[in-house]
């Protein structure tokens, strides 16, 4: 797993952090933000965003951003920025985010702000992504802020 220090990656993760501010805090789940970026063309640009519980049904940020992703936004090679490691298991029975990212077939790299703590379940989302051919990059310098936002409401 690589580490990202490029200011552009930090900037996109900061946009994902802005998405977390839209989350309604609850004691039983994390507040997470996600931004999907198309790195091709005239320069990297945001094509979708999401945050925890944005859409009905106890939804997660990554799943929401993928659900809102326009068809014209590229078929492969997208970058996904998430403030918290994508989940690898859901107690609700819904599809884990890491699995959804892989199944979308559109995401090449996932940039993560901080690993998911074991507050609710043991998470192996980064490993799942790597095992299924998705590059995982840890963005440095925002870990504390990402974790603080994730636990807002706990």
pLDDT given for residue 90 in this prediction: 81
Task: Tell whether 81 is covered by a domain.
Answer: yes
Gyration radius of the chain's alpha carbons: 14
pLDDT given for residue 22 in this prediction: 97
CATH, residue 133: 3.40.140.10
Given 19, 62, 99, 116, the catalytic residue = 62
pLDDT given for residue 5 in this prediction: 65
The whole model's pTM is what? 0.93
Domain that includes residue 19, residue range: 2-111+127-150
Q: Single out the residue of 71, 69, 75 nearest to residue 36, CA to CA.
A: 69
Active site residue 18: no
The domain total for the chain is: 1
CA angle, residues 55, 141, 65, in degrees to nearest 5: 15
Per-residue pLDDT of the chain (154 residues; tens, 9 = 90+): 555 668 899 999 999 999 999 999 999 889 999 999 999 878 899 999 999 999 998 899 999 999 999 888 777 899 999 999 999 988 777 899 999 999 999 999 999 999 887 667 678 999 999 999 999 999 988 999 999 999 998 8
List Cβ neighbours of 32 (8 Å cut-off, separation of 6 or more): 20, 23, 51, 52, 60, 61, 62, 82, 83, 84, 150
Task: Tell whether 86 is covered by a domain.
Answer: yes
């Amino acid at each position: 797993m690589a580490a990202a220090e490029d200011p552009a990656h930090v900037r996109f993760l900061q946009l994902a952090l802005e998405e977390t501010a839209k989350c309604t805090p609850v004691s039983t789940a994390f507040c997470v933000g996600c931004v999907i970026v198309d790195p091709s063309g005239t320069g990297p640009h945001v094509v979708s965003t999401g945050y925890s519980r944005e859409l009905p049904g106890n939804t997660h940020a990554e799943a929401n951003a993928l659900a809102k992703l326009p068809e014209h936004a590229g078929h492969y090679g997208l970058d996904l920025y998430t403030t918290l490691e994508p989940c690898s298991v859901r107690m609700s029975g819904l599809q884990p985010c890491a699995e959804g990212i892989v199944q979308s077939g559109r995401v090449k790299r996932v940039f993560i702000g901080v690993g998911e703590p074991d507050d609710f379940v043991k998470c192996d989302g980064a490993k799942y992504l790597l095992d299924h051919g998705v590059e995982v990059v840890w963005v440095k310098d925002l870990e504390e802020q990402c974790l603080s936002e994730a636990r807002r409401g706990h």
